[in-house]
Amino acid sequence: MDTTDLLEIAERERAARTPRRLRCCTAAGCLSQNGQALKAALIEAVKTAGLTDSVEVVGVGCMGLCSQGPLVQVDPDGPLYEKVTPDQAPAIVAALNEPSAPADDVRVGDPTHPFFAKQVPVVLQNSGKINPERIESYIEVGGYQALCTAVREMQPLEVCELITASGLRGRGGAGYPTGLKWSTVAKTESDRKFVVCNADEGDPGAFMDRSVLESDPHRIIEGMAIAAYAVGASQGFVYVRGEYPLAISRLKTAISQARRLGVLGAGVFETRFDFRVDIRIGAGAFVCGEETALMRSIEGHRGTPRPRPPFPAAKGLWGCPTLINNVETLANIPAIVANGPEWFAGLGTGKSAGTKVFALAGKIKNTGLIEVPMGTTLRTIVEEMGGGVPGGGSVKAVQTGGPSGGCIPAEHLDTPVDYESLAQLGSIMGSGGMIVMDESDNMVDVARFFMEFCMDESCGKCVPCRAGTVQIHHLLTKLRSGKGTARDLDVLRELCEMVKQTSLCGLGQSAPNPVLSTLRYFHNEYDTLLNDPMTPATKPLQTSTETR
């Protein structure tokens, strides 16, 4: 197996293509809206029309605009149909004869809409285009070429240097330089090393990683294999949450296909590099997305974090040096190796290279997945691409980073999205969840929602997180019900600071962020809830709808 073989497979795949194709989304978003029945109806309609030789119905991954699903795209250059129902299948097939006129009575999407036009797909390059259940489909678009180049033509340290030069930073939330992490593991001497893909995506409203795994699983395997070669690991784990059955099944299929083709296993691409990948399924604990807890879970123990240092790069799985990267980080790797570090560094801003995938949710018209260059402003994302608040209301705040992030008020919508700018506003890039709030949302409720999440997900190991989140939640509930006092607000503030500073792992250290950021930007919403300390609660519950 080498580059020529890959090109041959790609050629065969292209030759087998029918002149026209109907790409039908089979990722979780569209499947939940009857996408499976739609795909079956399209296949049936093609058969009935006698077009099986010239039209193929292809199940593909996510096309992004989940709010308008199920989606069907006609290839080449045909219309994108939205909210398609199975009974519309014959009309869509009938319209294939006249390329310029789409089917009547089926909603057609506008490919020039900023939602599509402003995207720069790198991670999502193949999403919605290839069949995620066939390795040939991935190879057809150039898949595994990067891995082949890396293992056959480059030294491991060269690969690390290439990633360093690209400026890629971890997409799991903290933004640690990926190249630096790789070189650290590469330089740590050990007979045994591991590579782990963290696919325990758990932030409420975030589904970037799920989509990549469902739409382009080979990309992750290729990224992991390149990483393993670069750091000197021979075994990898994908730690994926149990709530993602489709992602798990597609990953399993992808791993066995890759093994059969000799892309994984002993002697990858006929070199001396061996790499096997196994899947480990999470059991529903958010904290297992924290790397030390994740490793405990892979080892078969109770998934609780431990103090760092030692970092996984020095002491990871079973005490061996371990590289842990998030799904999106690894999904960038094949593209960087294929196109070169300069290309990647050219995307985005100076300190935040490349693109970022965001999951738009909340009070926004176009919910779904987008991928934009770093440095795109929040306003472009929310108002132009996302279409703003449905019904024309105004955006009050944007929450980024999930339960570890913060709320950014509308006045800062012109902030460019990069690691430093978001941190400066008291939020974080996070893994890519972006929840939009409008004027009807009470910010104390927002803070309370996220605190409830953290309280439920705290593993209970360290005192500040276990007991502190309970008390923060209690104080927010008390304030929200109009029984809180100015003293309660002081205690809340002091407790948030303490939980942030003293908790053992990232979950507890970042749990107070939604409270702290709403206290910072929406203080009046807390103040209006205050009660006089010496009188019993008589004030009615107030919902603040004031603009700032």
Q: Which positions lie near another protein, rule CB under 8 A?
A: 285, 287, 302, 304, 306-307, 455-464, 466-471, 474, 491, 494-495, 498, 501-504, 533-534
Q: Report the chain's C-alpha Rg in angstroms.
A: 24
CB nearer another protein, residue 413 or residue 470: 470
CB nearer another protein, residue 162 or residue 459: 459
CB nearer another protein, residue 113 or residue 461: 461
DSSP bridge partners of 55:
20
CB 108 within 8 Å of CB 78? no
Least separation in angstroms between CB 540 and another protein: 21
Q: State the Cα–Cα distance between residues 39 and 44, nearest whole angstrom.
A: 9
Q: State the Cα–Cα distance between residues 528 and 441, nearest whole angstrom.
A: 15
Q: State the Cα–Cα distance between residues 111 and 344, nearest whole angstrom.
A: 25
Least separation in angstroms between CB 460 and another protein: 3
Please count the residues of the chain. 548
Least separation in angstroms between CB 468 and another protein: 6
Q: State the Cα–Cα distance between residues 60 and 26, nearest whole angstrom.
A: 6
Cβ count within 10 A of residue 391: 8
Least separation in angstroms between CB 536 and another protein: 8
Enter the tokens of residue 304. Answer: 């609780």
Least separation in angstroms between CB 530 and another protein: 15
CB nearer another protein, residue 501 or residue 545: 501
Q: Which residue has the tokens 């996984």?
A: 312
Q: State the Cα–Cα distance between residues 184 and 428, nearest whole angstrom.
A: 25
Q: Quick one: DSSP state of residue 323?
A: E
CB nearer another protein, residue 195 or residue 287: 287
DSSP bridge partners of 406:
400
Q: Which residues contact 171 (CB under 8 A, 6 or more apart)?
A: 326, 327, 328, 329, 332, 356, 357, 431, 432
CB nearer another protein, residue 382 or residue 475: 475
Residue 91 burial (CB < 10 Å; 0-12/13-18/19+)? middle
CB nearer another protein, residue 365 or residue 448: 448
Least separation in angstroms between CB 82 and another protein: 41
CB nearer another protein, residue 459 or residue 529: 459
Least separation in angstroms between CB 504 and another protein: 6
CB nearer another protein, residue 125 or residue 458: 458
Taking the mean position of all CA atoms in its chain, how far away is CA 18? 33
Least separation in angstroms between CB 424 and another protein: 16
Least separation in angstroms between CB 480 and another protein: 15
**Shortest CA distance to 468 belongs to which of 523, 428, 430, 507?**
507
Instruction: Return the beta strands (E) in 65-117 as ranges.
Output: 72-75, 80-82, 107-108
Q: Which residues contact 158 (CB under 8 A, 6 or more apart)?
A: none
